[in-house]
Structure formats: structure tokens, C-alpha cells
Amino acid sequence: LGYKITTTHQQTLTQTQSKTLKVNASFKVAILGAAGGIGQPLSLLIKMSPLVSDLHLYDIANVKGVAADLSHCNTPSKVQDFTGNNELSNCLKDIDIVVIPAGIPRKPGMTRDDLFNINANIVKSLVEAVADNSPNAFIHIISNPVNSTVPIAAEILKQKGVYNRKKLFGVTTLDVVRANTFVAQKKNLKLIDVDVPVIGGHAGITILPLLSKMKPNVSFTDDEIEELSVRIQNGGTEVVEAKAGAGSATLSMAYAAARFVESCLRALDGDSDVYECAFVESEITELPFFASRVKIGREGVEGVVSSDLEGLSEYEKKGLEALKGELKGSIEKGVAFANKEK
């Protein structure tokens, strides 16, 4: 009986899947840095999406094997590999979403800002190519320090005359994923019900979880709030230390980035109920960029959920004021870098 049920279930899944796939698989996604620790599992997760028709993988090394391997999965998207500057423009032609996880990760003892010198140049050169070849694409920046690399990308796109603030996103989904997991564990909640908005930026104290705004509505002691907030802010460092020199979060990051890509694909496909936290150009505070919940539609960011900043707890209000100085500095550092050799 067990076997029969499994077979029927399998058939139903396959039938439903192939029905959906025929209608919907039409979006083209490019991953720049696809052979890396994040890039590989992220490519796999995106290969599983029924909404993707073409998956373009770009890296400066080792990408041919990754693409050959992935291309054997019997999901509809066609996988192609691209390597070296000469192939970058072809990789980016007619792309709907470009995801950028290229760059070096942290080692123990490093802050995300310590990555600036190397990753700023990588993001700059890749975004220049995006501007030239797929100026209408959604751009998802994963490379750290996100608080600076997103402003760099914005400046490069402005210099190229193709900046669309609605389509540039710093990927902060991992902060939400961690917040949901840690809070559900601590309060013994069903994970599926938990949704914690995380605002600010993506480094240390600039990561501000809003436990007062989470779903479901749960009460916390002051100690619990402190403990959870600090753990969410240091989640990345927890992984960096556990990996002891072998890099930073890759699997949970790939999971989080795939969720963000899937949300954007649904938005592009016409779903009018897509909300995610992301680091975007924003008027929600006096800072030019800020992570908050945003509504995403076919044309990108349709609005920010400004009510998240109303009625904050005292702890959150203090956290918000405390993060502004560091975030402002990181944004300005990115802007200055992008404009220094204009």
C-alpha cells in the first residue's frame, strides 16, 4: 500500500509540475561567481525552479564543470557556462535577474568591511558589464560588504545612465532566515508561522531584527530580546568561526538567496503579493539606503513597508539610532569608491 501511495503521489507531482513548467518556465537568470561556495548550491536551487528557462553561470574559474554537472538534472532550465571577461557580455544578454555572489568571504577575526578592497573592485567591474548588457535586469548583490557594495553598484549604474533604483537589491534574506530559525527555536514555535522583519543593513549592529513586529505576536523578556538580537546580528560570525578559516555561510546563504530569487521570479510572473526584506535605495529613514520590507512587482520595488518603523519598542528605537552612524559611513565609503576614478 505504501508503495502504491508513493507512486500515485509521485505521478501527481510530476503531472502538476510538467503542467506548471510548460506555462511558466520563461525567465532567464545569471549567476556571477557561480563556481563559489555560495554560487554552486545557489545554482542548484535555481535549477530546480519551474519559473526559469535559462540559467547562465559565470565565474573566472571552474565554472565549466559546475555547469556540466548541473545540466544533467532533469528540470527544464537550460544551463550554460561562461568564463573570462570575453564571455561576460554573452552571459548577460536578455537576462531577467542577475545574482552576484562573486568575491572573497570572511575568515575568523574579519569584519565584512575587511573585504572591501577586493570585493568593491569585483562588484564594480561586474556591474559595469550588467549596465552594458542587461540594464533592465533585477540585480541581486550578495558580495560583502553589502552596506557598501550596493551603493557602489548604484553609482556605477548612474555613471552608465541606466540606474533604476527599483531594480537594485542588496540581499539580506539570510538575516530574516536566521531570525526566523533562532526565534522559532527559542520560543518553540512552528517555523512555518514565523516571520521576523529585519531592517537596517547587513553587518553587525546594522542588522536590526524587529521582534515587536514579527508574526505570530509573541512576548519576550528583555533578556530574550537581547540574546536573540545579538545572535541574529552575529549569525554570520557563528558560521565563520565554526568553519575555522574555510569561509563563511554558503549553504544557508544559497538557501536564502534562492528564496529571494524565487520571490522576484513570482513577482515578475505577475504575483501581486510578494514582500521580502532587502537593502534598497529608500526614503524610509534619512539614510539613502536601508533594508526594510519591500513590496516587489514586475517593475521591481513597488513600495517599502514604512509602518514597520512606527511604534518600535524602546530596544528597537535605540538599535535604530545606534546603527545609523555605521551604516551611513559604509554607504559613503561605497559612493566615494565608485566616484574616485571617474
Question: Which residues of the chain form contacts with ligand NAI (CB under 6 A)?
Answer: 32-33, 35-39, 58-61, 101-106, 115, 119, 122, 126, 142-144, 146, 171, 174, 202, 247-250, 253
First to last CA, the chain: 70
Rank residues 144 and 285 by Cβ distance to ligand NAI and give the closer one.
144
User: Could you give phi then psi for residue 299, rounded to 5 degrees?
Assistant: -100, 10
**Min dist. Cβ of residue 289 to ligand NAI (A):** 14
Rank residues 142 and 157 by Cβ distance to ligand NAI and give the closer one.
142
Rank residues 98 and 268 by Cβ distance to ligand NAI and give the closer one.
98
9 carries an active-site annotation: no
The span from the CA of 242 to the CA of 75, in Å, is 34
Q: Which DSSP state fits 104? A: P
**Min dist. Cβ of residue 256 to ligand NAI (A):** 7
Rank residues 24 and 250 by Cβ distance to ligand NAI and give the closer one.
250
Rank residues 103 and 297 by Cβ distance to ligand NAI and give the closer one.
103
**Min dist. Cβ of residue 222 to ligand NAI (A):** 28
**Min dist. Cβ of residue 90 to ligand NAI (A):** 14
Give the count of alpha carbons within 13 A of 40, CB side only: 14
Classify residue 9 as exposed, middle or buried by CB count within 10 Å of its CB (0-12, 13-18, 19+). exposed
Cell numbers of 45, please? 536551487
**Min dist. Cβ of residue 100 to ligand NAI (A):** 8
The span from the CA of 204 to the CA of 178, in Å, is 14
Cell numbers of 72, please? 544533467
Per-residue burial over 230-249, b = 16 or more CB atoms within 10 Å of its CB, e = otherwise: ebbbbbbbebbeebeeebbb
**Min dist. Cβ of residue 300 to ligand NAI (A):** 19
The span from the CA of 260 to the CA of 208, in Å, is 19
Q: Which residue is nearest to ligand NAI (CB)?
A: 36
Q: Which helix (H) or strand (E) holds 330?
A: helix 314-339
The answer for residues whose C-beta is within 8 angstroms of residue 320's C-beta and 6 or more apart is 199, 200, 208, 285, 309, 312
Q: Please pick, among 9, 56, 72, 202, the residue that the annotation labels catalytic.
A: 202
Per-residue burial over 188-226, b = 16 or more CB atoms within 10 Å of its CB, e = otherwise: ebeeeebbbbbbbbbbbbbbbbbbbbbeeebebeeeebe
Rank residues 146 and 228 by Cβ distance to ligand NAI and give the closer one.
146
Please list the active-site residues.
202
